[in-house]
Structure 1
Amino acid sequence: MASTSTIEVTQTFHHSTTTHRYDIRWTSLGDKALPPLIFVHGTPWSSRVWHVYAQSLSSYFHVYLFDNPGFGDSPLGQPLPGKEDSISKAVALDADLAQQSEVYAALYHFWAQGWGTKKAHVVAHDHGGLMSLRAHILHGCEYASLCLIDVVAMGPFGQPLFKLVAENEAVFNALTPTVFEGVVESYIRDAAHNDLSKETMGMLKRPWVSSDEGRRGFVRQLMQANSRSTDEVEPKYSAVGRKMPIRIIWGKQDGWLPVEIAERLKEKLNAKEVVLIDGAGHLIMYDQQAKLGVELTWWLSRISS
C-alpha cells in the first residue's frame, strides 16, 4: 500500500459521562450505503495510524475514524462543573479506559442510528482492543466482526518505563524540550521493528512534543498505563467469539506485547485463528504496511461475503 494524503477529522461528537464532558473529533469516508467499518487506535497514537487503510478500504466500506480523548485532535475530557473535587488523579487520558470505552460506545451508537439493521466491522490496535471489547460487553455495541491487532486486552500490564515515570513524574515534567523529545522518540522507536521514516516519526511524536500540554499528557499517560483493568470484562471474553467472527493479527517481533499473549487471547475469546506477521513489531501498520493491508482486505472481504 502506498502513502496517502492526510485525512482530517472534521466532525465533533459531544458526550458527557457522570464526571466529564468530551468533544471527540471524527470523520467518515466512502458511500454511506456501504457496510460500516470502524478503526480504533491505541496509545500513544491517533487515528492517523489508519489513514492508508481507511483511504484504500473506503471504496468498499463506509469507514469511520476518530481520535480518543487527549489524542490526536480530540482534547482531554473536561470535568463537569462541581465534579472537580470528586475526580481522582487516575481519571484522565489513557488510564481510565472505562471512561474512554464509554465515550467510544456512545459514539458507536450515534453512528449506528444511520445504519438500519447493519452492524459495523471493527479493527482495533493496542488499547483500542480493550476499548472495543468493553464497549461490546458492557455497553451493547454489536459488531459484524472484530479484528484485533497487537492489542492490550489482558492483564497484568507494565513496562519498566511505566514504573520509572510513575515514580519520577516531577523529573520527567522538568526535562528540557530537547531531552523530552528524545525520550518520546526512543519510546516510539521501541514500538517498531523496522526504522520509521522521518515523516512518520514526526507525525507520531508531534502531539506530545509541540506544547507543554502535550508533554504533560505524555507523562500522564505513561504514569497511568499500569492501571488499566480488565477484571470487569476478561471473565466474559469466552462468549464474544460465539457471537461474532474474530481475527487476531500480531507482529511476530512485537517487543511490547509478545506473541504468546496473542495465543492466550485466542483461547480466551474463542477466536478461530492468530495470524503472525514476520518482520513486524507493535507498530505493525508501519513495519509491514503491505502485509497488514493484505490480511485486512482478505479478512474483510471474506466475512463481508
Structure 2
Amino acid sequence: MASVTLTERFTFRSDKYEYIIHWTCIGLDSGSPLVFVHGTPWSSYIWTPYVKALSLRYKIYLFDNPGFGESPGGKPLTATANTAELDASLAGQAEAFAALYKSWGFTNDRLPHVVAHDNGGLITLRANILHGCEYASLCLIDVVAVCPFGSPFFRLVAENPSVFNSIPSAVFQAMVRAYIRGTAFKPLRGSVEDRLLEPWSSGGRQGQEAFIRQMVQADQRHAEDVEGRYSEVGAKTPVKVIWGLEDRWIPVDRAEKLGKMVRAREVVLVEEAGHLIMFDQPKRLASEIAMWLMEVTM
C-alpha cells in the first residue's frame, strides 16, 4: 500500500523550536474539505486507502505531525534550547496543528470535516477548545482523550527513558515491532508492520530517541485540563465516536464515556477490531466514515 506523497511544507515556530510539517492536499477542489489527523507512533500512512477513496468526492488535507512520519523533529531556535527536549507533548502537537489548520484558510461557510485517531483526538479537541479551530464535524476513532490513558508498555517507557535509550538498537526495534503488533486484533501484513516501524528504526527519520521522547512527553495533564470542556465541542459540532471492541491500548469503556462527554450523536463499537481498526476492519471503517460524512453534509 503506497502512501500519499506529502508535497508541501509548513514552518511552525514555538518559543524555542522550529518545526517543518510535511503535508499535502488532494482531491476534488469543489468538494467539502476533509482533514485526517494521525496519532502516535503513527503517521499519515494509516489513512492512505481512505484518502484515495474519498478524494473523488472531498478536498482532503493530510499531514504528518511534527516528529512523526516525514515531518522532522525540529531544531532549537535559542542557545538554551535542548534538542533532547523538543516538544512532542500533546499540548505542543495541538498548537502546531492549530497553526497548520489556520494556514489553510478555512472560512466559516466552508469549515472542514475532521477525522482523528489515537492522540489525534486530543490534538483536535484541544485545537478546537483552546485555539479556535472550528470544524464542520468531528469523527473520533479509538482516540486518546479520556484519562487515564497509555498502554502498560507506553507507561513503562515513559517512566524509564534512560533505561530504554540504553537498549541496543536491534533489540529496541524488535520491542517496537511487538508493540505495533499488539495494536491490531488481526495479524498485520509484514509490509504494513515494516512501514509503521520504519520511521523509528535506526535508519529512519525519527529513531529510537524520538520514539521514547514522544512517550515521555505525552502527559495526562494535557487531557485533564480540557476534559471538563468537551461538551462545548459537541454543543456546536456534530461528533461521532468509533471504537474497536478489542482495543488493548484504550479500553472500549472509554468510548461510551467520551461519547457522553462530547455529546456525540453516535457511538459505534466495531467487532474484531483493535486499536488499529483501519487495518483490522478497513471496509467497516470506510463505511462508517462515508455514512457519517454523507449525514453531516446533507
TM-score bin (small chain): over 0.9
Q: Considering only aligned residues, what root-mean-square deviation do their CA atoms show, in Å?
A: 1.8
Q: Deviations over 1:270-301 (max 9, x none)?
A: 11221011010000000101110011111111
Q: Which moved more, 1:227-236 or 1:39-48?
A: 227-236
Distance (whole Å) between structure 1 residues aligned to residue 210 and residue 242 of structure 2: 29
Distance (whole Å) between structure 2 residues aligned to residue 209 and residue 257 of structure 1: 25
Question: What's 1:76 paired with?
Answer: 73
Listed as ranges, the matches of 1:148-227 within 5 Å are: 148-211=140-203, 213-227=206-220
Distance (whole Å) between structure 2 residues aligned to residue 248 and residue 160 of structure 1: 24
Q: Are 1:238 and 2:231 matched, yes or no?
A: yes
Q: Verify the 8 A CA contact 1:45 1:71 in the aligned structure 2.
A: yes
Q: Structure 1 residues 228 and 162 mapped into 2: Cα distance closer, same or farther (>3 Å)?
A: farther
Q: What is the deviation of 1:116? A: 7.0
TM-score, reference length from structure 1: 0.92
Listed as ranges, the matches of 1:49-60 within 5 Å are: 49-60=46-57
Paired positions, count? 297
Distance (whole Å) between structure 1 residues aligned to residue 93 and residue 166 of structure 2: 28
Local SS of the residue matching 2:217: helix
Q: Verify the 8 A CA contact 2:17 2:81 in the aligned structure 1.
A: no
TM-score, reference length from structure 2: 0.94
Q: Structure 1 residues 139 and 193 mapped into 2: Cα distance closer, same or farther (>3 Å)?
A: same
Query: Which consecutive aligned stretches of 4+ in structure 1 deviate over 6 angstroms post-superposition?
Result: none
Q: What is the deviation of 1:227? A: 4.5
Q: Verify the 8 A CA contact 1:157 1:226 in the aligned structure 2.
A: no
Distance (whole Å) between structure 1 residues aligned to residue 74 and residue 108 of structure 2: 30
Local SS of the residue matching 1:122: strand
Listed as ranges, the matches of 1:260-279 within 5 Å are: 260-279=253-272
Equivalent AA in structure 2 for residue 146 of structure 1? L
Q: Deviations over 1:179-233 (max 9, x none)?
A: 1121011110111111000110000001111338511111222333344521321
Q: Deviations over 1:120-161 (max 9, x none)?
A: 000000010000001111111110000000000111223322
Q: Verify the 8 A CA contact 2:185 2:272 in the aligned structure 1.
A: yes
Aligned-pair identity in percent equals 47
Question: What's 2:7 paired with?
Answer: 10
Equivalent AA in structure 1 for residue 257 of structure 2? R
Q: Verify the 8 A CA contact 2:247 2:275 in the aligned structure 1.
A: yes
Equivalent AA in structure 2 for residue 269 of structure 1? V
Distance (whole Å) between structure 2 residues aligned to residue 168 and residue 234 of structure 1: 27
Question: What's 1:27 paired with?
Answer: 24
Local SS of the residue matching 1:112: coil
Q: What is the deviation of 1:90? A: 5.7
Question: What's 1:66 paired with?
Answer: 63
Structure 1 residue runs of 5 or longer lacking an equivalent are: none
Q: Are 1:130 and 2:122 matched, yes or no?
A: yes
Equivalent AA in structure 1 for residue 27 of structure 2? G
Q: Which moved more, 1:70-79 or 1:216-225?
A: 216-225
